[in-house]
């Protein structure tokens, strides 16, 4: 799951990036409000962690601008401002969650997963498609009651496809989900990971739409 | 021991009452005394005139009756004042006529010979146990001597009557006046009692302006001063609250960083990553410590206890500070240099000046890249000492310079974690030292140049 972290404090930003990476997120880190807005408009992030006291452009202004632009991604506001009016204003302007510093990394990750899940209309914690159950928190995949070991990239790819079950995702979109900045993306990386997933989970789960991309079907196609 | 009259009551009401009643009584008594003197003078003149006239009549009568030689001893006493008035007429040394209450012996000594001048004019004598006012005169032939006397007591009786009529109303009026004055004074000070009750009932946190209905215009300055004091206290408290809130918020970020880094270190299985996270944790602690120190410095400065400024050499302080922070610059392979003249006396507090200069030099080192130059120049321009800290770092845009000094403002993209408090502290100290602080672009080095200029010492 690729998220954007907007935090101007070098130590905190570094810690959050490292911590969220440990917990399976792909993290892009920007240090000011202008960059945050630019990146959010440019890239399909699953969610963003937004500090309010950002330089150049205040986090609240970034939030208002991206909502104005029609971006619906989940926004988790992470801030030192804990006054109730601040929280209310943050939520009213379009934040999906409001977390006051300092925050436990595991809690932050859980909140992000919940936000992403709900943004895809998924009330349960685990995603289900056909006989495959994906647990984003445990980062585990179970097929027909048996655990299936997946690499981190394979898991992320499956996660993205399951979140967008029934929708066709292009190779570029999937690559954007998988890799954060500075990571080398090989031209056929997505194909390779899809190939591995099919080998591990069977070919019925992920369909290829030629010339467009891939789609995951939630129900088995009727025979 | 105090003289009781000088010891005024503590209450305003009591004082006013005492002064009003005392004043009225005093004026009244003075008026009575003046009346007494005036009446006595007029009475003396009038009655003396009567005495003189009566004497003249007696002289004339004696002249007409001399031939008859008939000695009517007693004149009738018809009036109630008659016993208090007496007369004697002597003709050629013999008593010719006297009033019933007059003694046979002359009131004043008669002339012993024809050459001697008979008695004339007013005298006051003691006669028959009473004091008499006597007028003496004589006929043209000098053979008739007339004495007319009047008891002084009768005059005093008239005077006392006059005084009584003046003072009696006062005895009745004074208590009434006291009552009226008490009531008026009470009404007058009522708004002050309202005010004192309002103040007594007030909560310590209530700092809204006070209004007293029907307050007299004399109270307006006091109310205005009181309300302006309340306002200043409210502003001070608001600024304190804001500061506390800001400070608490500012501490949240380093704490969040420490927590995140520590969690990363705990969860990491990669040695390099764990080491990095632990180093960052330590950095976070240093940062939080620095922030707390800065907050304490700022709060001490804002508490407003102004230090005693003494005369000291700015150059010495500059050298000391630069020697202190030089290792930081050497770590970054920066060149740091001091150019100072021999004598730069300033009025300052050594500790505060050192904190200020350390902030400036520390900032220059921190925000300038590796290999940069930092230059501290101390100049004495005709008694006005200026300290300039310039660097070859990225400097600041005009917009950033304008924002500088907002508490917790910091420049973007420096890669340094700071709270922006340093500048607040620097500015506050400069104002305590009455020195002027200005920021510009360094002409020589191209980076930021901060000048601290002391007034003429």
- Which CATH number fits the domain that encloses residue B409? 3.30.565.10
Q: Do the Cβ atoms of B138 and B93 come closer than 8 Å? A: no
Q: Choose among A102, A100, A10: nearest CA to B419.
A: A10
Q: Is residue B172 part of a domain?
A: no
Provide the pLDDT for residue A50.
94
Residues B293 and B445: their CA atoms lie apart, in Å, by: 31
Residues A154 and A7: their CA atoms lie apart, in Å, by: 29
Tell me which residue has tokens 């048996």: A146
Please compute the mean of the pLDDT values over residues A156-184 and round it to a whole number. 85
Q: Do the Cβ atoms of B419 and B291 come closer than 8 Å? A: yes
Tell me which residue has tokens 């009696």: B168
Whether residue B253 is found in the same domain as residue B328: no
Whether residue B326 is found in the same domain as residue B297: no
* Nearest chain B CA: its distance from A191 CA (Å): 29
In this prediction, residue B72 has a pLDDT band, given cuts at 50, 70 and 90, of very low
CATH number of the domain where residue B123 is located: 3.30.450
In this prediction, residue B1 has a pLDDT band, given cuts at 50, 70 and 90, of very low
Provide the pLDDT for residue B88.
85
Strand partners, A141: A134, A148
The listed range with the strongest mean pLDDT (A146-155, A177-186, B203-212, B341-350) is A146-155
Q: B256 to chain A: which residues are within 8 Å by CB? A: 12, 15, 80, 101-103
- Examine the pLDDT at B320 and tell me if it is beyond 80: yes
Q: Does domain A2-119 have CATH number 3.40.50.620?
A: no
In this prediction, residue B173 has a pLDDT band, given cuts at 50, 70 and 90, of confident
Does ipTM come in above 0.85?
A: no
Please compute the mean of the pLDDT values over residues B117-142 and round it to a whole number. 82
Q: Is residue B216 part of a domain?
A: no
Q: Report chain B's terminal Cα–Cα distance, integer Å.
A: 54
- Examine the pLDDT at B111 and tell me if it is beyond 50: yes
Provide the pLDDT for residue B388.
92
In this predicted structure, which of A214-218, B382-386, B389-393 has the lowest mean pLDDT?
B382-386
Chain A positions contacting chain B at CB under 8 Å are: 8-12, 14-16, 18-19, 22-23, 31-32, 55-56, 80-82, 100-106
Provide the pLDDT for residue B439.
87
**Angle between helix A59-68 and A84-93 (nearest 10):** 20
Whether residue B147 is found in the same domain as residue B232: no
Whether residue B335 is found in the same domain as residue B374: yes
* Nearest chain A CA: its distance from B391 CA (Å): 23
- Examine the pLDDT at B7 and tell me if it is beyond 80: no
Residues B413 and B396: their CA atoms lie apart, in Å, by: 11
CB-nearest to A11 from B257, B273, B411 is B257
Whether residue B99 is found in the same domain as residue B127: yes
What are residue B137's phi and psi, to 5 degrees?
-150, 175
Q: Do the Cβ atoms of A62 and A71 come closer than 8 Å? A: no
Cut 0.95: pTM above it: no
Pairing of strands A132-135, A140-143: antiparallel
Tokens describing residue B394: 């990225």
A14-40 tens-digit pLDDT: 999 999 999 989 999 998 888 999 999
Q: A11 to chain B: which residues are within 8 Å by CB? A: 254, 257-258, 261, 280, 283-284, 287, 417
Whether residue B339 is found in the same domain as residue B284: no
Q: Which residue of A has its CA nearest to B416?
A: A10
What are residue B272's phi and psi, to 5 degrees?
-60, -45
CB contact under 8 A, B267 and A32: no
CB atoms within 10 A of CB B58: 22
Q: Do the Cβ atoms of A55 and A32 come closer than 8 Å? A: yes
Q: Do the Cβ atoms of B251 and B223 come closer than 8 Å? A: no
CB contact under 8 A, A80 and B250: yes
Residues B308 and B433: their CA atoms lie apart, in Å, by: 10
Residues B403 and B409: their CA atoms lie apart, in Å, by: 7
CA dihedral (A155, A156, A158, A164) in degrees, to 10, reads 150
Please compute the mean of the pLDDT values over residues B168-174 and round it to a whole number. 82
B134-154 tens-digit pLDDT: 888 887 777 788 888 888 888
CB-nearest to A18 from B264, B287, B412 is B264
Tokens describing residue B425: 């502290």
Please compute the mean of the pLDDT values over residues B48-67 and round it to a whole number. 79
Assign A207 to helix, strand or coil.
strand
Provide the pLDDT for residue B352.
83
- Examine the pLDDT at A6 and tell me if it is beyond 90: yes
Please compute the mean of the pLDDT values over residues B35-40 and round it to a whole number. 87
Residues B251 and B263: their CA atoms lie apart, in Å, by: 18
CB contact under 8 A, A102 and B287: no
CB atoms within 10 A of CB B121: 10
Residues A144 and A140: their CA atoms lie apart, in Å, by: 13
The 8-class DSSP code of residue B82 comes to G
Tokens describing residue A47: 């969610």
Please compute the mean of the pLDDT values over residues A62-78 and round it to a whole number. 92
Cis geometry, peptide bond prior to residue A102 (ω within 30 degrees of 0): yes
* Nearest chain B CA: its distance from A114 CA (Å): 20
Q: Is residue B197 part of a domain?
A: no
Chain B positions contacting chain A at CB under 8 Å are: 249-250, 252-261, 263-264, 267-268, 273, 276-277, 280, 283-284, 287, 410-413, 415-417
Provide the pLDDT for residue B126.
84
Measure Cα distances from B430 to B261, B297, B387, B424, B451 in Å.
37, 13, 12, 10, 11
CATH number of the domain where residue B246 is located: 1.10.287.130
Q: Is residue B192 part of a domain?
A: no
Q: Choose among B257, B55, B16: nearest CA to B144.
A: B55
State the total domains in chain B.
3
* Nearest chain B CA: its distance from A72 CA (Å): 27
- Examine the pLDDT at A123 and tell me if it is beyond 70: yes
Q: Is residue B211 part of a domain?
A: no
Q: Is residue B7 part of a domain?
A: no
Q: Which domain holds residue B259?
A: 221-302
CATH of A127-216, one of 3.60.21.10, 1.10.10.10, 1.10.287.470, 3.90.1150.10: 1.10.10.10
Q: Which residues contact B115 (CB under 8 A, 6 or more apart)?
A: none
In this prediction, residue B6 has a pLDDT band, given cuts at 50, 70 and 90, of low
Give the residue with greater pLDDT, B159 vs B78: B159
CB-nearest to A15 from B250, B277, B411 is B277
Assign A219 to helix, strand or coil.
coil
- Examine the pLDDT at B268 and tell me if it is beyond 50: yes
Interface residue of A13, A18, A25 to substitute, partner B, most B CBs within 10 Å: A18
Q: Do the Cβ atoms of B340 and B378 come closer than 8 Å? A: yes
Whether residue B439 is found in the same domain as residue B320: yes
With 0-12 / 13-18 / 19 or more C-beta atoms within 10 angstroms meaning exposed / middle / buried, residue B188 is: middle
Whether residue B427 is found in the same domain as residue B327: yes
CB contact under 8 A, A11 and B283: yes
- Examine the pLDDT at B2 and tell me if it is beyond 50: no
Which sequence spans correspond to the domains of chain A? 2-119, 127-216
Whether residue B86 is found in the same domain as residue B44: yes
Provide the pLDDT for residue B73.
46
Tell me which residue has tokens 């309010």: A52
Residue B107 exposure: Cα atoms within 13 Å on the Cβ side: 35
- Examine the pLDDT at B70 and tell me if it is beyond 70: no
* Nearest chain B CA: its distance from A11 CA (Å): 6
User: H-helix or E-strand containing A5?
Assistant: strand A2-6
């Amino acid at each position: 799951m690729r998220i954007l972290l907007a935090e101007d404090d070098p130590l905190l930003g570094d810690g959050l990036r490292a911590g969220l990476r440990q917990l399976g997120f792909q993290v892009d880190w920007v240090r000011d409000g202008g960059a945050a807005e630019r990146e959010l408009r440019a890239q399909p992030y699953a969610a963003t962690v937004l500090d309010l006291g950002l330089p150049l452009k205040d986090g609240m202004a970034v939030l208002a601008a991206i909502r104005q632009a029609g971006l619906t991604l989940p926004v988790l506001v992470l801030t030192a401002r804990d006054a109730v009016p601040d929280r209310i204003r943050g939520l009213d302007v379009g934040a999906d969650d409001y977390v006051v510093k300092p925050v436990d990394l595991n809690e932050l990750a859980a909140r992000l997963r919940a936000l992403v899940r709900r943004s895809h209309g998924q009330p349960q914690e685990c995603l289900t498609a056909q006989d495959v159950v994906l647990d984003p928190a445990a980062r585990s995949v179970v097929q027909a009651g048996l655990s299936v070991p997946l690499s981190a990239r394979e898991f992320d790819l499956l996660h993205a496809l399951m979140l967008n079950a029934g929708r066709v995702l292009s190779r570029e979109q999937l690559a954007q989900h998988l890799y954060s900045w500075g990571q080398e993306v090989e031209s056929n990386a997505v194909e390779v990971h899809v190939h591995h997933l099919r080998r591990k989970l069977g070919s019925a789960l992920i369909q290829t739409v030629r010339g467009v991309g891939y789609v995951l079907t939630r129900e088995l196609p009727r025979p | 021991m105090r003289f009781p009259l000088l010891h005024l009551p503590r209450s305003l009401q009591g004082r006013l009452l005492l002064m009003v009643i005392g004043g009225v009584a005093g004026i009244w008594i003075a008026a009575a005394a003046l009346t007494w003197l005036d009446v006595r003078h007029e009475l003396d003149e009038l009655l003396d005139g009567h005495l003189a006239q009566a004497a003249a009549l007696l002289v004339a009568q004696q002249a007409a009756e001399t031939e008859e030689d008939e000695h009517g001893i007693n004149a009738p006493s018809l009036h109630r004042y008659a016993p208090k008035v007496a007369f004697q007429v002597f003709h050629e040394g013999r008593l010719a006529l006297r009033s019933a209450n007059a003694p046979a012996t002359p009131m004043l000594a008669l002339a012993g010979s024809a050459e001697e001048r008979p008695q004339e004019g007013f005298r006051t004598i003691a006669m028959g146990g009473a004091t008499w006012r006597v007028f003496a005169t004589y006929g043209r032939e000098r053979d008739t001597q007339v004495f007319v006397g009047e008891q002084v007591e009768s005059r005093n009786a008239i005077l006392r009557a006059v005084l009584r009529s003046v003072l009696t109303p006062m005895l009745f009026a004074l208590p009434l006046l006291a009552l009226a004055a008490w009531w008026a004074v009470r009404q007058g000070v009522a708004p002050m009692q309202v005010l004192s009750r309002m103040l007594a009932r007030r909560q310590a946190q209530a700092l809204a302006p006070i209004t007293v209905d029907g307050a007299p215009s004399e109270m307006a300055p006091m109310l205005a001063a009181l309300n302006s004091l309340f306002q200043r206290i409210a502003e001070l408290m608001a600024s304190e609250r804001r500061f506390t809130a800001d400070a608490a918020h500012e501490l949240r970020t380093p704490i969040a960083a420490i927590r995140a880094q520590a969690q990363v270190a705990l969860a990491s299985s990669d040695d390099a990553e764990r080491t990095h996270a632990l180093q960052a944790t330590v950095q976070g602690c240093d940062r939080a410590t620095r922030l707390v120190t800065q907050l304490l410095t700022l709060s001490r400065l804002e508490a407003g206890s102004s230090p005693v400024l003494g005369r000291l050499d700015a150059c010495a302080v500059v050298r000391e500070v630069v020697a202190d922070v030089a290792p930081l610059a050497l770590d970054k392979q920066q060149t740091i240099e001091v150019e100072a003249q021999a004598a730069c006396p300033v009025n300052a507090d050594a500790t505060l000046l050192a904190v200020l200069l350390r902030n400036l030099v520390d900032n220059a080192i921190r925000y300038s890249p590796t290999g940069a130059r930092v230059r501290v120049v101390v100049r004495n321009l005709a008694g006005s000492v200026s300290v300039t800290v310039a660097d070859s770092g990225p400097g600041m845009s005009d917009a950033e310079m304008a924002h500088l000094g907002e508490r917790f403002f910091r420049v973007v993209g420096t890669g340094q974690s700071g709270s922006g408090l340093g500048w607040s502290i620097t500015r506050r100290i400069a104002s305590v030292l009455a020195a002027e602080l200005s920021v510009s672009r360094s002409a020589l080095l191209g980076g930021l140049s901060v000048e601290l200029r002391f007034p003429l010492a």
